[in-house]
Every structure is written in C-alpha cells, then in structure tokens.
Amino acid sequence: MRKKSIFMSLALFGVILGFAVVAAAQPITLTFANQNPDTSWSGMKAIAPWAKQVEEATNGKVKIQIFYSQTLTKGKDAWEATKNGIADISWCFHGYWPGLTPLADVISLPALPYTTAEKGSEVLWKLYEKYPAIQEQFADNKILLLFTSNPYLLITTKKQVKTMEDIKGMKIRMSGGPPTEMMKALGGTPMMVPMPDNYMSLQKGVIDGMGAPWEAIHGFRLYEVVNYYTETPFPAVYFSIAMNKKKWDSLDKEIQDAIMSVGGLEGSKFWGRNHFDTAKDGVMEKVKSEGKSIDIYSFSDEERQRWIDTAGKPIWDQWVNKMKEAGHSNAQEILDTAISLSQE
C-alpha cells in the first residue's frame, strides 16, 4: 500500500512538473494595436518585421499579436487604451493629442534641417534620452521607441499650390501642434481629420488637401483622389511605440532587455526608415501599375524661403515662448539641440 502511495505521489509530481514545463514553454502574447491596414507600407515593412524582431530577440518567449485597422482600439484612443491595458502595445500618433507631449513637438516644427524619417527618428530619441522633462511627458506609458515621418508633402485635389498665395483659404488637413500653427500662418484653414477618414474627406471636398507622408499616400490609396503634389518646408510628425507599464513591469528583466535591444535608438531609426523613407518607391509602383503618373512641384529657392520666413522660423519662436511660459526654461536649448543633431 505504501509503495502504491509513493508511486501515485511520484506520478502526481510528474504531472505537475509536466504542466509547469508546458506552461514555461508557452510564449507571452502581447497585443499590438495599430490603426493602419496590414497591406499598408508600414504594415508590411515596419510593423510585421519589427514584431518578428521582438520574437527573435526574446528567443520566442514573446509573441506579438497585431490588431490592424483599428480592430482593437481607434487610432485616436491608442494612448489611453495602452495606459488602461486595453492594448499591451500601441502605435501612437501624437498629432491626435495636442498638448500631451509638447516638448517633443519640437521635432514637428517646420523647416528643421533633417530630410529623412530615419534622421528625424534618431534626433527625437536622442532628445528623449537627454531631457528628463521630455521623458516625464511620456510617463503614462513605457516608451519602447520614438520615430518621425519624413517632412510632409502638400497634396491637393483641385489645384496645384505653387505659391503662398495659392494656399490662402484652402481647407488643409494637418495634425495638431506646430503643423496646425504653420497652416494658420500661411493663411490656410487647418482641419483635424483622423487619417483613415481622409480619403473620403478629399473625395467629397470636405478638405481641399492635406499634408501627408509617402507612407500614408500609399497605405490609404490617397493617390486615387488627389491630383497635385507639392514639396514644401512642411513639418514632419512623430509617433511612439508605447507599452502598458504594468504589463512591462510584469516581464522578466531578461525579456525587457531583449525587447529594448530592438527598441531605443536602433528601433527608432528602423521604424523611421522602413515606415516612411522607403514608401515613396511603393507609391510610384502603385501609380505606375494603374497607368497614372505623379507630377511633383518643387518651389524655387525664393518661394521656399518665403514660406520659411512666414510660417517656419516664426513658429520656432512661438513654440519656444509657449514652452517657457509653461515653465520649461530650457526650451531654446532643446530647439538648438534638435537643430544641431539634425545637421550631424
């Protein structure tokens, strides 16, 4: 009887151990909320590849479950959804929330001297690392990386914008913060429209045009409803890949370090490059396959300088003064650092 009892105890222990081994082998699944479709340039070139990088860096201990096209949360709700645990990780577009991270808005000032999203993303992450005041404004969530778009193009439906006078009175979709202030200074009417709604807004004439990066033109098929493209000294916009803090804190240090090995500076540059910089080629391929062409208008040096003098550098000064009034005495230093880093 005693032997039988010992045998049963060993068997039970074996079962428990087996369950423990199986449980230990199960990957941690982290949900990822994203507003863009899986067929978008960002979905194919940045989001899915980065999720794979995380899985490989953690040796399969973490699996990223991506919810595309706002199926987990609306894009405009992503920051709060992450904070409240609705999503473990979210793609967050900070133009939706003017005033949330105003010091980081420095990277969205018009006419800064960086020309690629990869460089803008590098500058933004270095600013975040350097200035605790910037970190504090992102403190509701764990920031895995930060990235920017390339400086926006102006795309329009009914007329080509060739001079500052052409844009006066036009309804132009811009994101919040410095981009909105720039449009006001130019004499246009800034409109706040969630990115997924812009196709219909352009098609129905709710807006006359918008500032847009190549990635959005590709992912939301905006080339189907706009006719004119103008290169301007428009600002870029910025994003975070943010994680719920409680979920982050629940991870082992080894896993945290592995995730950050594909986050931080290198992750920021990866997202900028793959989410935005490479997307122009994708647009050109799409347009060519449909038998269309894109005519891009570039300002003369004189016209470009007019835009910078009227709605570029004055917005820099406006931002610095606003930040100083809010108690950020080093706002000018932050701007100067952003400019210096952009020129490196």
Please report, for the domain that includes residue 185, its CATH number: 3.40.190.10
Query: What pLDDT is attached to residue 21?
Result: 44
Indicate whether 264 belongs to any domain: yes
The per-residue DSSP string of 110-126 comes to TT-S--SHHHHHHHHHH
CA angle 280, 108, 119 (to 5 degrees): 55
Query: What pLDDT is attached to residue 8?
Result: 52
Average pLDDT over the chain reads: 92
Indicate whether 320 belongs to any domain: no
Beta strand residue intervals within the chain, DSSP E: 28-33, 62-67, 89-93, 142-148, 153-156, 171-173, 189-191, 209-212, 228-231, 238-243, 296-298
| Span 315-330, average pLDDT | 97
307 and 226 co-located in one domain = yes
263 and 217 co-located in one domain = no
Structure confidence by residue, pLDDT tens digits, 87-141: 999 999 998 998 999 999 999 999 999 989 999 999 999 999 999 999 999 999 9
57 and 141 co-located in one domain = yes
Query: What pLDDT is attached to residue 6?
Result: 54
Query: What pLDDT is attached to residue 15?
Result: 46
303 and 273 co-located in one domain = no
55 and 136 co-located in one domain = yes
Residue 309's alpha-carbon distances to 111, 185, 303, 304, 317, in angstroms, are: 10, 10, 10, 9, 12
pTM for the full predicted model: 0.85
88 and 157 co-located in one domain = no
Indicate whether 317 belongs to any domain: no
36 confidence band (pLDDT: 50, 70, 90): confident
190 and 68 co-located in one domain = no
pLDDT at 320 over 90: yes
Q: What's the CA gap between 147 and 125, in Å, rounded? A: 7
Tokens of 99: 């005033």
144 and 160 co-located in one domain = no
Q: If phi over 0 gives left and psi between -120 and 50 gives alpha, with beta otherwise, what is residue 153?
A: beta
182 and 145 co-located in one domain = no
Dihedral sign computed on CA atoms, order 266, 62, 254, 83 = positive
Block residue for tokens 């090995």: 261
Indicate whether 337 belongs to any domain: no
187 and 230 co-located in one domain = yes
Output DSSP code: residue 326. T
Residue 297's alpha-carbon distances to 11, 31, 230, 304, in angstroms, are: 77, 42, 5, 12
Pick the range with the lowest mean pLDDT from 28-37, 150-159, 291-300. Answer: 291-300
Indicate whether 321 belongs to any domain: no
Q: Could you list the residue range(s) of the whole structural domain that residue 298 is in?
A: 153-234+286-311
Indicate whether 332 belongs to any domain: no
Q: What's the CA gap between 49 and 46, in Å, rounded? A: 5
119 and 165 co-located in one domain = no
249 and 103 co-located in one domain = yes
| Span 59-66, average pLDDT | 98
Q: What is the CATH number of the domain that holds 77?
A: 3.40.190.170
> Domain count of the chain?
2
Structure confidence by residue, pLDDT tens digits, 153-198: 999 999 999 999 999 999 999 988 888 999 999 999 999 998 889 9
